[in-house]
Amino acid sequence: MRRMPLKEEKDDFIDNASEIQKGKLNEKQASFPFDIPDFETLLKKQGYALAGRHSAVKTCLWLRHAMNDQGFCYKSKFYGVQSHRCLQMTPTLMCNQRCLFCWRPTEVPVPAPEEWDSPEKIVEESIACQRKLITGFGGSPNAIKERWIESREPNNVAISLSGEPTFYPYLPELIKEYEKRGFTTFLVTNGTNPEMLAKVSPSQLYMSLDAPDLKTYLKVCQPRSAALWEKVNESLSQMKQKNSRTVIRTTLVKGENMFKPEGYAELIKKASPDFVEIKAYMHLGFSRLRLDRSSMPAHAEVLEFSQALAKYLGYEIADESEISRVVLLSKDGKKSPVKKIPSLD
Ligand code: SF4
């Protein structure tokens, strides 16, 4: 049987989580026009399916597009992921940042679980949820039949839906469990937990870097504590040591963090990632209550910023997707499909 958290580990965690909750509503945020009184309503409003007690699954727009023969997402173009077989999930919706551009209602408290589900249970439940969420495509005249059949066997997991996945204490085991089932694994972290970062080995490890300096970080990412900037910097150095393929991802918000490419370059150099993804903020979900539509940069602006960054970094443009307003940089200007990394057991 899986070991549940030691009492001290759990207490530490709950302390952190309730700190997130205590600091949650300042005056401005409390006046937001939210109609979301609790966690359950939050899940429903955002179209999530709860997988077990604290994990969630949501199909992405591109899964639907792929199924209806309307194209694949940029992760397909850049890394060979089949959008209709991609399972988007998170093992926890809690987070220690409140990024301005986040699509979730960062102002709504997410309760810390009393007990953690095992990785086996989360994997089982998340696959079951995905199958349930895509049931409707089976009878749809617009869906490609073969894709629908394939989509019932997801083969890539994007652990990145919402919330900070490194809060789940069994994240390394969860990744291994997906890989045992034949999945490639994408993990996205905000970089505030370098201790967990040191332990995980997904096929592709993403870290968000959304500020070129501390001042911008505090404004754009609104971390629980300014000390988390140090953790972000530790994580950047940690990335350099990883066996996984590594990606630094930056979400550009016009007027907020879309400046100082040289500052980003200095930070990214610490991580020496395989890839850098520069992506436009998208005016969606609850971010619409914090940012104006004009905060979304056009693709040409993302490209221009990426070119400046590439110059400072010594990287090259490897690809771009205009529809998703994202540019991919790599050290040699090449890209390649994601593969599972050999087990480190
Ligand atoms: S780190 Fe991710 S989940 Fe947390 S607030 Fe920022 S965008 Fe949202």
Mean pLDDT of successive 10-residue stretches along the chain, which has 345 residues = 36 34 38 59 79 91 88 91 93 94 85 93 96 85 86 94 93 97 96 97 97 98 97 97 96 98 98 98 93 98 98 98 96 91 58
Q: Enumerate the β-bridge partners of residue 51.
A: 55
Nearest by Cα to 273 from 246, 238, 313, 237? 246
Report which protein residue has its CA nearest ligand 1's atom 6: 99
Ligand 1 close to Cβ of residue 90 (< 6 A)? no
Based on C-alpha coordinates, what's the Rg of the chain? Answer: 19
How many domains, in total, are found in the chain? 1
**Does residue 13 form part of some domain?**
no
CB 58 within 8 A of CB 88: yes
For residue 222, the CA-to-ligand 1 centroid distance in Å is 10
The answer to whether position 60 is within a domain reads yes
Q: What is the pTM of this model?
A: 0.87
Report how far ligand 1's centroid is from the alpha carbon of 139 (Å): 35
- Cα(50) to ligand 1 centroid in Å equals 19
Residue 57 identity (one-letter amino acid): V
| Cα 95 from Cα 190, distance rounded (Å) | 9
Would you say residue 339 lies in a domain? no
**Helix residue ranges per DSSP H, 37-170:** 39-45, 61-67, 74-79, 119-133, 145-151
Please indicate whether residue 99, judged by its CB atom, sits closer than 6 Å to ligand 1: yes
Give a yes or no: residue 163 inside a domain: yes
pLDDT given at position 37: 64
Q: What is the pLDDT of residue 10?
A: 35
Range of the domain at 293: 40-330
Tokens in use for 313? 């970094």
- Extract the tokens encoding 238: 């940690």
106 in any annotated domain: yes
* Mode of pairing for the β-strands spanning 55-57 and 316-321: unpaired
Domain membership flag for residue 274: yes
Please check whether residue 37 is in contact with residue 26, taking contact to mean a CB–CB distance below 8 angstroms: no
Q: Is residue 15 part of a domain?
A: no
Query: Is 146 part of any domain?
Result: yes
Indicate the pairing of strand 204-208 with strand 184-189: parallel
Which CATH number does the domain housing residue 251 bear? Answer: 3.20.20.70
